[in-house]
Amino acid sequence: MVEQLFGSKTRVKLLKLFYSNPNRSFFVREITRKIDEQINSVRRELANLLSVGIITSDNNNNKLYYEVNQDYQYYNPLSEIFNSSSVAAPKTKKAGIAKKVADNPLKVLGNVQLALYTGQFTRDEHSGVDFLVVGDINQVQLDKYVADLEKKEKKELRYTVMTMKEFNYRRQINDKFINNVFNSKVQVLVDKQNIMSA
């Protein structure tokens, strides 16, 4: 139905990709792999979205990167439609742990208070890390999650894990690493205490 409304299956897949990853940029071949569509139709739809102003492009290391334009006048309503993490799924009586994990894959890691992508994910190396997770974390599940993520992204990732107590202490003493993360471009996955919006 959404494809009929927006005119193209490829366009809908692109919008879902961009709006689910608002601070992340992608190059064309990466996009074709992620949405599993032909490169010509991806290029055509990228040109359409670019001309309307929904996405922006940036040349870096001889690669053209695309990301969602958060200044676009209809950014918020489109985000409501296409950002899968903000769409509330209808409740069912049999919504067990598998459903919860599907809605939030980070749940398997334990009590995650804050999780974010930066570094390679947002093309901002200022932070020195790609994935930060804070909370009471199961290290075995985290190792598995990162290994799966590295396989999916086809690159090695730098990640940091810390307890809430350590995170709060490091913020309190104006820790350089935490400051670098806060001053970097990030994609927030979980923020139970609204730390990033404070």
pLDDT digits (tens, 9 = 90+) for 30-60: 899 989 999 899 999 999 999 999 999 888 7
> Which class is 2-82 in CATH?
mainly alpha
- The verdict on pTM exceeding 0.95 is no
Residue pair 17/35 in contact by the 8 Å Cβ criterion: yes
Q: Report DSSP state, residue 105.
A: G
**Is 3.30.460 the CATH number for 97-191?**
yes
- Cα–Cα distance between 186 and 198 in angstroms, integer? 14
Joined together, the tokens standing for residue 74 give 């209809």
Mean pLDDT, the chain, rounded, equals 83
Mean pLDDT within 76-80: 86
Domain ranges for the chain, please list them: 2-82, 97-191
